[in-house]
Amino acid sequence: MLESKIINLTVRDVRFPTSLEQHGSDAMHTDPDYSVAYVVLETDSAAALRGYGLTFTVGRGTEIVVCAVKALSTLVVGKTLKEIVSDFRGFYRLLSSDGQMRWIGPEKGVIQLATAAILNAVWDLWARVEGKPLWKLLVDMDPAKLVSCIDFRYITDALTEQEALDILVKAKAGQKSREEQMLKEGYPAYTTSCAWLGYTDQQLTQLCSEALAQGWTKFKVKVGADLLDDIRRCSLIRKLIGPNNTLMIDANQRWDVHEAITWVTKLAEFQPLWIEEPTCPDDILGHASISKALAPLGIGVATGEQCHNRVMFKQFLQASALQFVQIDSCRVGSVNENLAIILMAAKFNVPVCPHAGGVGLCELVQHLILFDYISVSASLKNRMCEYVDHLHEHFKSPTIIRNAHYIPPKDPGYSCEMLEESLQKHQYPQGEVWRAIEQQGKQ
Ligand SMILES: C[C@H](O)[C@@H](O)CC(=O)C(=O)O
Ligand SMILES: [Mg+2]
């Protein structure tokens, strides 16, 4: 089935009105409507095999990502899966470095989100053809083949192809038992669902108490808009979860560098493990200053959900500007680029703690973090994957969480196929959910 040719690409703008209840709100994104540009690759295979992919957005602007996907589609349609995966590095380069389209990137912004959506669909298709969930496709893949999927351009000063290969070969030891461990216990997760910025203290208390009862031990709280609110909310959560559970805080880029240091120092009494996105996501040296200032307080810096490519991650690592690498399945160039980031993190000995949530981000990134543990890092120290309890019901193979752990998916593919009924209802602006909202606005 590798011979199957991709004969069509469709892309849809699908939005969920999460802002109505303040789900997903933070200090910078006060009214997110969790959304996706949803891609389907159709093939000429007898079994009418399809690949499903998506990239995540927070509402307005999704139509621009849809346009970018359409612009890139001519580079994909007409290719066989075999042509693509036998030189995946070359195909990645074709998509990310097209001689004309790279001007509107390169490898950043809308065009990078569109690249992610398309490549996620290609990886989904490949995993389906092999009859495996994506994490298993990666875990079973020969290290040389894995490395051949990565574009090392601009990162060889931090990680060479040979070094990447050596890391993967070394991690072969114990791989089988780690895979069995994951199938039995799952991968540790933390929750962000209890403490979005727009939630009331009452909601926060109720959701946090419920989460504790369900076995959650690690909690992330949104901060950054108002210091007194932050002190009150962090104090409330710390009291609820007790001294031994883990707290993280996330400012979503709200502060300048000095402001970040002062503000977080005032929250240090609540003992957060990390401050996430304290300042502009492009300010590597700013993050390095914050890291240095907060290290004596035992607080690390985490970032990555808006870090747009492997070159940025390389510099964050080289500058000791982060202590937690937050890969994102839809921000960078799909699995190909995330492989590079995971391997660089391993070389620099910095834990990977993925960003997830949104629509489909948990479904996707669970595959990457399972691969990281089984085939690269071989460690769970200071490692956990974000989980957010929204919108999973719209997926054909939703994430399974047991006792605050991600249970490895078993269905073939990359877990991002959505239910047709959900797509139709939420398609923007013509789906019934959006027509009803428009009607209410007119009344
Ligand atoms: C706008 C998103 O909900 C964002 O707040 C998510 C995020 O920062 C996280 O999950 O971390
Ligand atoms: Mg965040």
Q: Which ligand lies nearest to the CA atom of residue 357 in the structure?
A: 1
Burial code of 76-91, b = ≥16 C-beta within 10 A, e = fewer? beebbbeebbeebbeb
How many angstroms separate the alpha carbon of residue 279 from the centre of ligand 2? 12
32 lines ligand 1 (CB under 6 A): yes
Low-confidence ranges of the chain (pLDDT < 70): none
413 lines ligand 1 (CB under 6 A): no
What does the pLDDT look like over 105-155, one tens digit per residue? 999 999 999 999 999 999 999 999 999 999 999 999 999 999 999 999 999
User: How far from 3 is each of 46, 117, 132, CA to CA, in Å?
Assistant: 11, 22, 18
Other Cβ atoms closer than 10 A to 374: 25
User: How far from 150 is each of 155, 165, 177, CA to CA, in Å?
Assistant: 11, 11, 27
Contact 301, 284 (CB under 8 A): no
Output the residue whose Cα is nearest ligand 1's atom 8: 252
Contact 395, 363 (CB under 8 A): yes
Output the residue whose Cα is nearest ligand 1's atom 6: 24
- DSSP-derived pairing of the beta strands 50-57 and 324-325: unpaired
58 lines ligand 1 (CB under 6 A): yes
> Could you tell which of 220, 252, 274, 389 is best to mutate to test the pocket of ligand 1, judged by most ligand atoms within 8 Å of the CB?
252
Query: Tokens 């752990």 identify what position?
Result: 405
What does the pLDDT look like over 193-224, one tens digit per residue? 999 999 999 999 999 999 999 999 999 999 99
User: How far from 28 is each of 24, 108, 252, 277, CA to CA, in Å?
Assistant: 11, 20, 6, 11
The reply to whether 220 belongs to the active site is: no
Domains of the chain: 167-420 (3.20.20.120)
What is the residue-wise DSSP string for 364-395?
Answer: HHHHHHHHIIIIII---TT--EEE--SSGGGB
112 lines ligand 1 (CB under 6 A): no
Quote the pLDDT of residue 442. Answer: 80
Q: Which ligand lies nearest to the CA atom of residue 388 in the structure?
A: 1
Report the atom number in ligand 1 closest to the C-alpha of 326: 11
User: How far from 105 is each of 75, 122, 308, 340, CA to CA, in Å?
Assistant: 16, 21, 10, 19
Report the atom number in ligand 1 closest to the C-alpha of 356: 10
CA atoms of 184 and 177, how far apart (whole Å): 10
How many angstroms separate the alpha carbon of residue 255 from the centre of ligand 2? 14
The reply to whether 355 belongs to the active site is: yes
Q: Which ligand lies nearest to the CA atom of residue 390 in the structure?
A: 1
26 lines ligand 1 (CB under 6 A): yes
Contact 192, 386 (CB under 8 A): yes
Quote the pLDDT of residue 260. Answer: 98
How many angstroms separate the alpha carbon of residue 426 from the centre of ligand 2? 25
What is the maximum span of the chain, computed from C-alpha positions, in angstroms?
Answer: 65
> Could you tell which of 35, 60, 192, 279 is best to mutate to test the pocket of ligand 1, judged by most ligand atoms within 8 Å of the CB?
192
35 lines ligand 1 (CB under 6 A): no
Quote the pLDDT of residue 391. Answer: 98
Query: Tokens 């991709």 identify what position?
Result: 6
For residue 294, the SS3 value is helix
Quote the pLDDT of residue 189. Answer: 98
250 lines ligand 1 (CB under 6 A): yes
Among 359, 358, 384, residue whose Cα is nearest residue 369: 384
Structure tokens at 96: 């990310």
Helix (H) / strand (E) containing 191: strand 187-191
What is the residue-wise DSSP string for 16-71?
Answer: --GGGGTTT--SS-SS---EEEEEEEEE--TT--EEEEEEEE-STTHHHHHHHHHH
Among 218, 355, 394, 405, the active-site one is 355
Quote the pLDDT of residue 441. Answer: 87
First to last CA, the chain: 53
192 lines ligand 1 (CB under 6 A): yes
Report the atom number in ligand 1 closest to the C-alpha of 58: 1
What is the residue-wise DSSP string for 237-269?
Answer: HHHHHTTTSEEEEE-TT-S-HHHHHHHHHHHGG
Among 23, 136, 218, 222, the active-site one is 222
How many angstroms separate the alpha carbon of residue 332 from the centre of ligand 2? 15
> Up-side HSE of residue 405: CA atoms within 13 Å toward CB?
14
Residues 6+ apart with CB under 8 A from 36: 14, 54, 55, 56, 57, 62, 359, 360, 418
Report the atom number in ligand 1 closest to the C-alpha of 222: 5
Report the atom number in ligand 1 closest to the C-alpha of 388: 10
355 lines ligand 1 (CB under 6 A): yes
